[in-house]
Chains A and B, each alone.
Chain A
Amino acid sequence: MLPQRLKKTITDNPKKLANLIDLVNLPSTLREFVGQSQISRLGCFMRVWSYIKTNNLQDPNNKNVVKCDEKLKSILLGKSQVELAELPELIKLHFPKAPK
């Protein structure tokens, strides 16, 4: 089901892959958080996720929820708490599709 289909999407669709791993010039808000001027969407996700882990930002009562600190808030639409499930989508907002 999903796995095969997914595999196909990735191999059939180099653009999708590029969109994930190409380095992108960052807007200033994100630049501050990441500490570098370029990063891929995947790298950015990894960075944010590890930031959440090292700073113990997951709600102890419900691990699916992240309580944002000021720094995290600045890149996640100013929300004080986000669902883990929406994290990839929120990060994707910083990586608009390249105009074709």
Chain B
Amino acid sequence: MSKIQEALTELRRAPGVKGGALVTADGLMVAQSLDPRFHDEAVAGLTSFLLSTTCKSLADGGMGTCERFVLHATHGRAVFAAVEESFLVVLLDQFADFDGCKAEIDVAVQQLRRSSRLQ
């Protein structure tokens, strides 16, 4: 198993985490460990849409780029963190202890950054 996959599998074990994936900015799935209810292609495509839209609007306004985006919805949450040229996507249920998961997400981001640089 690659280091990237290992990091995602480890992250998935955190309470409330329903899946993790590493997606490139143009919507390609690098690796994933997602709950079967989420389709990996949909996650990759929608993540690319959301983050490219967000980053473009920020860049157009001269505000820089998006490093992290935490999205809360009625039945779940999603966290997106920039990892080099890609994004880590973490899907959580609405009852997840977000503060508890934060540390695990940060660890995964660090591991993914290291692995991305090595590849």
Partners in one complex: no
* Chain A interface (Cβ < 8 Å from any Cβ of B): none
Interface residues of B (CB under 8 A from A): none
